[in-house]
Amino acid sequence: MHRIIFIWLITSALVVSAPAQDTKIFDSFIQRALQATPMVPGIGVAVVKNGEVVMAQGYGYADIEAGLKANGETSYYIASVTKSFTGLLALLLADEGLIDLDAPLTTYKPFGQLKNKDVFAKITIRELLNHTSGIENDYIVFREAYTGDKSLEIMTMLLEEKTTLRKEGKTYRYDNLGYNIFGILLEAEFGKKWQDLLQEKVFSPLKMTRTSAYISRGEKKNWPMAWPYEGIVSMDPRRSALMKNDDMMQAAGGLICSPKDAANWIITYLNKGQLNGKQVIKPSIIEAALQPTATSAREGDIFNDTGYGAGWITAQFGEQKVNYHFGGFVGFFSHISIMPEKNIGIAVFANENAFGDNVSNLIAAFIYDYYLGNVDAVDDYEDKIQALKQRIADVQKNMQNHYAKIAAREWKLELTKGAYAGTYFNKYVGTVEILEGSDELHVTMGSMKAVATPFTEPNSIRVEFAGNGNAMQFEVKDGRVTTLNFEGDIFERVK
């Protein structure tokens, strides 16, 4: 299994005790950046300096079709930034004596009862959290993030039958698996979901009233929520066909959060666990969360990584040390970072991922450079704005050519389309449902849906799930479709 518009520059703001000049300059730059990226419908920004909220506000639209404007309380899906929350949860549980970060996984359910428990006998929770466990299991990662078909029974079966040791051993390799496995451990050991433990241990104490690991919670309470859009082909954003639901939320990437709540999160870290004059988290826990326990060396667009700890990446922004995490999924990008020595923290959330990362990181870099005295005005970043516009033009041209080639393909199916419709099952991946409609094939896999297009091989189709194009290859025997091959896994036709 392989791993698989426009901008209305209207703001709704929550600004507390900030120098007017700072907020004016930030606002001007954000609007200038969004003018350069009209495929990004909306964005949320939180800035904290010296324990004060400089800004926590929204720009553009959270939901174009509903006419819902973004504001400081709009909740965005923040993807892998979730890891910093899950990492803190682990440290809190360890402080309470409920888990030992350095004990073998076989100390806990379900690992001690597995037939292949030797695989987990020398792995610890700490190694799960800092990406040095040395194991892999793409089936768990796929189900957790994309299909949502992941009962505790299924996840335990996958742990048992599909976990393998990596050839390179316990070296650092970033992925979702460690956090997925920690979520499984919590449910098996304590009978509580990681979502509910986060609410109890983190969100409630930190007064994060628009943050949840349940999409349904926001819907039931009528929270303003950002919807995902895609703008990789044209300047006009297209609403994504894939929206996270409760089943697709995971301990490695499964939260919605607002700029206002992100400000509370940042303040808690910069103030060593204090919020509103109250010590809500021990300083030692905050320190441990930010301390790297694995070495990482990667050069990024704005940060150069040096290590990884409990859900936070340690890095350099020029000469300054930062802790950060990014998150990306179809239709969303999230950025939260802090510069502890300068007492600065920034969160930027976008509801578009192809260029949402570029504009979000550009905004954060400008704010840091402003506070560090490296820039004085919006125009100081004009060359970076122009470079972004050129990158957008280049990427969109390439993608337009790519999709033009796909559109020019002809079907290479030896049977009628209806002959390929049916239900296909693989024990490890799940179920694929194919329906015929209006001379089309509609493909569903868990929470993912796609309309198939022709592929280059006989008896094959192309499906685009979560922004990735993949082939499904069918086997035909005696005039009947019997199986399909998806990324190397064989699905038997069961209906």
Longest dimension (CA), the chain: 76
As a whole number, mean pLDDT of residues 79-103 equals 98
Residue 21: the pLDDT is: 84
pLDDT, one tens digit per residue, over 372-421 is 999 999 999 999 999 999 999 999 999 999 999 999 999 999 999 999 99
As a whole number, mean pLDDT of residues 8-36 equals 72
CB 364 within 8 A of CB 372: no
Indicate if the pLDDT at residue 2 is higher than 70.
Answer: no
Give residues with Cβ within 8 angstroms of 316, minimum separation 6. Answer: 303, 304, 306, 322
Closest among 448, 442, 194, 491 to 330, alpha carbons compared: 448
Q: Per the structure block, which two tokens stand in for 163?
A: 């976990």
Residue 64: the pLDDT is: 96
Q: What is the CATH number of domain 11-80+201-395?
A: 3.40.710.10
As a whole number, mean pLDDT of residues 419-431 equals 97
CA distance 399 to 246: 31
As a whole number, mean pLDDT of residues 164-193 equals 96
Residue 467: the pLDDT is: 79
Q: Is 250 helix (H, G, I), strand (E, B) or coil?
A: strand
Residue 15: the pLDDT is: 38
Beta bridge partners of 77: 256
Indicate if the pLDDT at residue 308 is higher than 60.
Answer: yes
Q: Alpha-carbon dihedral of residues 79, 129, 157, 254, nearest 10 degrees?
A: -20
Residue 278: C-alpha distances to residues 22, 275, 281, 425 (Å): 28, 5, 9, 53
Closest among 38, 43, 36, 39 to 385, alpha carbons compared: 36
Q: Considering the entire predicted model, what is its pTM? A: 0.94
As a whole number, mean pLDDT of residues 265-280 equals 97
As a whole number, mean pLDDT of residues 456-473 equals 93
Q: Is 19 helix (H, G, I), strand (E, B) or coil?
A: coil
Averaged confidence pLDDT in the chain: 94
> Please, which pLDDT band fits residue 151 given cuts at 50, 70 and 90?
very high
Q: What is the CATH number of domain 417-493?
A: 2.40.128.600
Q: Per the structure block, which two tokens stand in for 68?
A: 């819902």
Residue 199: the pLDDT is: 98
Residue 5: the pLDDT is: 32
Encoded amino acid at 101, one letter: L
> Please, which pLDDT band fits residue 90 given cuts at 50, 70 and 90?
very high
Percent of the chain with pLDDT over 90: 90
CB 474 within 8 A of CB 483: yes
Alpha helices by DSSP H, 78-214: 82-95, 125-129, 138-142, 152-162, 177-190, 194-198
pLDDT, one tens digit per residue, over 132-146 is 999 999 999 999 999
- Residues forming CATH 2.40.128.600 domain(s) in the chain: 417-493
44 φ/ψ angles, rounded to the nearest 5 degrees? -120, 140
Residue 152: the pLDDT is: 94
DSSP 252: T
Between vectors from CA 349 to CA 345 and to CA 354, what angle results, nearest 5°?
130
Q: Per the structure block, which two tokens stand in for 29?
A: 């730059």
When comparing pLDDT for 312 and 468, which is higher?
312
> Please, which pLDDT band fits residue 7 given cuts at 50, 70 and 90?
very low
CA distance 367 to 387: 18
pLDDT, one tens digit per residue, over 195-253 is 999 999 999 999 999 999 999 999 999 999 999 999 988 888 999 988 899 999 999 99
Question: How many C-beta atoms lie closer than 10 Å to residue 266's C-beta?
Answer: 23
Residue 438: the pLDDT is: 84
CA distance 60 to 38: 10
> Please, which pLDDT band fits residue 340 given cuts at 50, 70 and 90?
very high
Q: Among 19-23, 34-38, 291-295, 334-338, whose mean pLDDT is lowest?
A: 19-23
CA distance 141 to 430: 13
Indicate if the pLDDT at residue 16 is higher than 60.
Answer: no
As a whole number, mean pLDDT of residues 302-325 equals 97
Residue 240: C-alpha distances to residues 166, 230, 405, 490 (Å): 35, 6, 22, 28
